[in-house]
Every structure is written in C-alpha cells, then in structure tokens.
Structure 1
Amino acid sequence: MFVGTFEHSLDEKGRIVLPSTFRSHLADKGFLSQFDACLGLWTEEGFREVSGRLKDKIRDGLAPQEALRAFAANAHEVRPDAQGRITIPQRLRDFAGLSRDAVVIGAIDRIEIWDASRWSEVANQADGSLSQAVRALGL
C-alpha cells in the first residue's frame, strides 16, 4: 500500500528519488505510464491488474481501444538504483509537465508522480472532494 506525500526534484538526467517506504515494493521492477495529468507507477502485479481492468472496460464498450494502446505503448519498466532513483523517459516527463520540482504521492494501489505546480492545484480540489465524499458516505 502506498501512502504519503513527498517533495523531490528531478536531476539533469531525468531521475527522481523514490521515498524509501516505496522502494521495497518495486525492488524487482515496476511499471511507469501516463495517468491522469501525472505519471502512475505500479508494481508488476498492480500493472497487470489495472491493464486487465482497462481491457475489461474496452470489451464492455466503456473505453476506446486507443486507451489501452496509449497506456501500454507509453509504459516503461523501471527498477530503483542503489540510491533509490528511477529514470523517467523524456516523453513521460513531457506528458506530465515534469521539469525540476516534483511531488511523489502514494495513491493506495499506485504511486503518482506530479509536477509540483500541477499537484498544488489538484491537491486543493482533492481536499474538497474528500470532504464531500466523507459527508456523502457518512464516514
């Protein structure tokens, strides 16, 4: 399970240090791909699961085939190095608007990597959404 918010910077080679609490889950390998205005990073098992769910949605006519193509074509296998860094390919950095300052968040079943300014905007909206959900669900 991935939780927490961590501020990090990308180095000149496009590498980012993952929080130490996340690294052990990705020791064998992980998969990085485009996600909702950010990058998603999954364990191998998590990537299989989300890919399967996407294929089910396509089969049921709820998502276009192009979504799976984009998700898979832009996926990148990663392994943290000895310093806990992963390299983010340029095309994925461009998609997520990553330049220097980034935020790495735990999103329960995945890790998300955000441009710091994008995350700031999203975090404010997310706080309001959580409040609404708590009230609606009676939590």
Structure 2
Amino acid sequence: MFLGTHTPRLDEKGRLFLPAKYREELSGGLVITKGQERCLYVFPMAEFQRITEALRAAPVTDRGLRAYSRVFFASASDEKPDKQGRITIPPALRAYAGLKRDCAVIGANTRLEIWDAQAWESYLEAEEPAFAELSQEVMPGIV
C-alpha cells in the first residue's frame, strides 16, 4: 500500500528518486503510464500484471475499454530503479504530466502518482473543499 506525499525533483536527465520507503517494493521493476488529470501512474510490476489480466478478460466490444487500454498500454514504460533508487521518466510521459523539476509523488493505495508540484497543489485546492461530501457519495459504508 502506498501512502503519503513526497516532493522529489527531476534531474537534468529526467530521473527521479523514488521515496525511500517504497524502493524495496519497487526494486524488482515497475511500470509508468499516463494517469487521469495529467499525472503519471507508477505500478509495481505485480500490480500492473494484475490490471493487465483484468483488462484482458474484459470484452473487447466495449468501446470505452478499448480506448482506455490503447492509451494506457501505448504510453506504458517498464523501468527498473537504479542502485540509488532513481527511475528515468521517458520524455513523452514527462511532457504529458508537465514535469519540469519540482514534483509531487503521492501514494494512491496500489500505485504511486507523479504530479508536477504546482499541478498537485492546484488539484488539492480545487478538490479538498468537496472531500467530506464526496466520502458520503463515493464510499458509502466504507469510511
């Protein structure tokens, strides 16, 4: 489970230090791909394989699923952290998420999300006021 917010910086080669507390879990490999709201999703390899199997089992006749799968898989990049815990974010994914230097890496349960730091702050500013109300609609009986 991934939790918390971390604020690493991209270096000039497009590399990012993974939060130290997640390096062991991600040391065997991970997949970075486009996420919603112009962030990047980072999945441990096992979680990405689980998602792949679920999408494989879904009907290809579903237009929305086909469209989602195309973007999701076409933009995916499998990476292995280096000995210092850095991953290289491919240029196309950096451009998609608007990543320049300051980033926010947030825990999102089974994945990490990488955001441009300013985009993350803007997202929080817009979404936090409705947080309490959303819990009633999105998670009835869970929280």
For the pair 1:50 / 2:47, whether they are aligned, the reply is no
Deviations along 1:86-126, whole A, 9 cap, x unmatched? 00000000010101110001101000000011100112234
Does 1:18 find its partner at 2:14? no
Unaligned runs of 5+ in 2: none
Task: State percent identity of aligned pairs.
Answer: 36
Distance 1:58 1:75 in 2: 21
Partner of 2:7: 7
- Distance verdict in 2 for CA 1:51–1:122, change over 3 Å: farther
Provide the C-alpha distance between the structure 2 equivalents of 1:117 and 1:56, rounded to a whole number of angstroms: 38
The normalised TM-score by structure 2 is 0.86
Residue 115 of structure 2 aligns to a residue in which SS? Answer: strand
Change (3 A) 1:134 1:64: closer
- Count of residues in correspondence between the two structures: 139
Deviates more, 1:117-126 or 1:83-92: 117-126
C-alpha separation in 2, matches of 1:52 and 1:126: 32
Question: Tell me, which stretches of 5 or more residues in structure 1 are unaligned?
Answer: none
Cα pair distance change 1:68/1:26, threshold 3 Å: same
Question: Which residue number in structure 1 is paired with residue 89 of structure 2?
Answer: 88
Tell me, what secondary structure is at the counterpart of 1:63?
helix
Does residue 107 of structure 2 align to residue 110 of structure 1?
no
Maintained 8 Å contact 1:57/1:63: no
Distance, in Å, in 2 between the alignment partners of 1:60 and 1:81 is 40
Inter-partner Cα distance in structure 1 for 2:24 and 2:96: 27
Q: Distance in 1 between matches of 2:96 and 2:69?
A: 16
- For residues 20-43 of structure 1, the C-alpha deviation after alignment (integer angstroms, 9 at most, x for no partner) is 111111111000000011000001
CA-based RMSD? 1.9
Look up the equivalent residue of 2:14 and give its one-letter code. G
One-letter code of the match for 1:72? F
Farther off after superposition, 63-72 or 22-31:
63-72
How far off is 1:55 after superposition?
A: 4.4
- Answering whether residue 77 of structure 2 is matched by residue 71 of structure 1, we say no
SS of the residue aligned with 2:43? strand
